[in-house]
Structure 1
Amino acid sequence: MSSESKSSQSEKELSGLVLEQKIKGSRKVSNYLVASMLSIGGVGFLLASFSSYFGRDFLPLGNPSTLIFVPQGLVMGLYGLAAFLLAIYFWRLINIDYGSGVNRFDKNKGVLSLSRRGLFKNIEIEIPIDEIKAVKLEVREGFNPLRRVSLRIKGRKDLPISRVGSPKPLLDLENEGAEIARFLEVNLEGI
């Protein structure tokens, strides 16, 4: 056997012993749209407030310089400031890709490693694979739907490991749960 075939065979064996899932974070189109709208709206309200204070039109639309500053201009300035601060928060979440991370099931080391990006620090959890009792699929329909994959762990609460956000299609959820359960050789619960 050549060295190339030996190395590719060992890579396949290693890949059979390690399962890695990448989790998407807050870099979604909807977050970009919300942050953009908040930025534009916040700047617009602030410019309207400045226009009413200085008596000059800083906005090309309307005539905000005719607004009375004390009740209307001041309130518009507060709305603009609130929207602008919220936009900064959204852009910060997008910048750090809040919630993104990796689920790494490593049979070589016998450890499940979860890592997620947090706002001020990264969150990393390591759990021995032996403590995982089952893979649980949670589905709740209605006003606030929930579809997630979680792990049942001995002596602890269920640990959710799927992405937060819009609900996944049931087929994708089942496939993800089945893949993890098959890899860990544990039961699949739920649905």
Structure 2
Amino acid sequence: MNVLFNKDENMDILYEKVIGSRNSSNLFWTIIILFASLGFLIVGISSYLKYNLIEFFNSDSILFFPQGLVMSIYGVLGIIISSYQWFTIFLKIGEGYNKIDTKKRQFEIFRWGFPGKNREINLKYPFDDIDLIKVEIVEGINPKRTIYLKLKNKSEIPLNSSQRFLSINELEKKTTQLAEILQVSIEGL
């Protein structure tokens, strides 16, 4: 029955792991950006030296100014972006869990952030502060299916990772399960 939340031994705590930046899609694109950037940089440097550093990256027909210079800049910028992505993957940015303690009647949200004094983001809300569960479904080029915990002070806290795309069936199951446990209504379904 509880496919989306895992229960512990005493059945009072429901637990859901949230995957942050350490997912296969981020890893794939980080590797692609790194190798493409290295290719641009090598061709740019080769055009400056007028010598092919790597044989299959032929830069004989490329002048350093302006093509080689631009390719070198693209390569450096790509390496900077890739380094930032590796940094977020290594530090598990956005990873954490959602925990519902039915005995204490408390919802806990934990996520890892960037290094600093606020690296650990740990939010705890009593059930009485929760107004409803809100669902946002955006279709199109950049589709999004997000579940929010809406508080009585009108704050909305996303519960699922933006990288993980839930099917409509999963979204309905999870939202219904949360609403039953928290004894609140659902908005947006």
> TM-score normalised to the size of structure 1?
0.83
1:154 is the counterpart of 2:149: no
**1:79 maps to which of 68, 74, 77:** 74
Task: From the two aligned structures, give the one with the greater helix fraction.
Answer: 1
Alpha-carbon separation, structure 1, partners of 2:71 and 2:25: 26
Which runs of 5 or more structure 1 residues have no equivalent in the other structure? 1-10
Counterparts of 1:126 and 1:106, CA distance in 2: 10
For residues 156-183 of structure 1, the C-alpha deviation after alignment (integer angstroms, 9 at most, x for no partner) is: 3222212212531111001111111222
CA distance in 2, matches of 1:174, 1:96: 31
Report the CA distance shift for 1:144/1:76 in structure 2 as closer, same or farther (over 3 A).
closer
Count residues with an aligned counterpart.
179
Structure 1 residue 59: Cα displacement: 1.9
* Paired residues of 2:144 and 2:162 also in contact (CA < 8 A): no
RMSD between aligned residues: 2.0
Asked if 1:50 is matched to 2:45, the reply is yes
* 2:123 equivalent to 1:125: yes
Structure 1 match to 2:31: 36
Residue by residue, what CA displacement relative to the aligned partner does 1:56-106 show, whole Å, maximum 9, x if unpaired?
A: 210221431553223122111101101111111111122222211101112
Q: Is the 8 A contact 1:19 1:183 kept in 2?
A: no
1:5-37 deviations in Å (ceiling 9; x for gaps): xxxxxx64x32x211111111222221221111
Q: Quick one: structure 1 residues 84 and 182, their matched pair in 2 at CA, closer, same or farther if it must change by over 3 Å?
A: same
Asked if 1 retains the 8 angstrom alpha-carbon contact of 2:95 and 2:111, the reply is: yes
Which letter maps to 1:126? K
Residue aligning to 2:167: 169
- Sequence identity, in percent? 30
* Cα distance change, pair 107–53 in 1 and its aligned pair in 2 (3 A): same
TM-score (normalised: structure 2): 0.84
Does the C-alpha gap of structure 1 residues 132 and 62 become closer, same or farther in structure 2, counting only changes over 3 Å? closer
Q: SS where residue 104 of structure 1 aligns?
A: strand
Aligned to 2:58: 63
Contact 1:44 1:59 in 2 (8 A): no
Instruction: Name stretches of at least 5 consecutive residues in structure 2 with no aligned partner.
Output: 1-7
The CA deviation string for residues 102-134 of structure 1, in whole angstroms up to 9 with x for no partner, is: 011123333221111223323221222211122
Question: Once structures 1 and 2 are overlaid, which stretch shifts more, 156-165 or 73-82?
Answer: 156-165
CA distance in 1, matches of 2:65, 2:92: 40
Classify the secondary structure of the residue corresponding to 1:81: helix
> Is the contact made by 1:19 and 1:104 (CA closer than 8 Å) also made in structure 2?
yes
> What is the match of residue 145 of structure 1?
143
DSSP 3-state at the match of 1:64: coil
Distance in 2 (CA, whole Å) between partners of 1:47 and 1:137 is 47
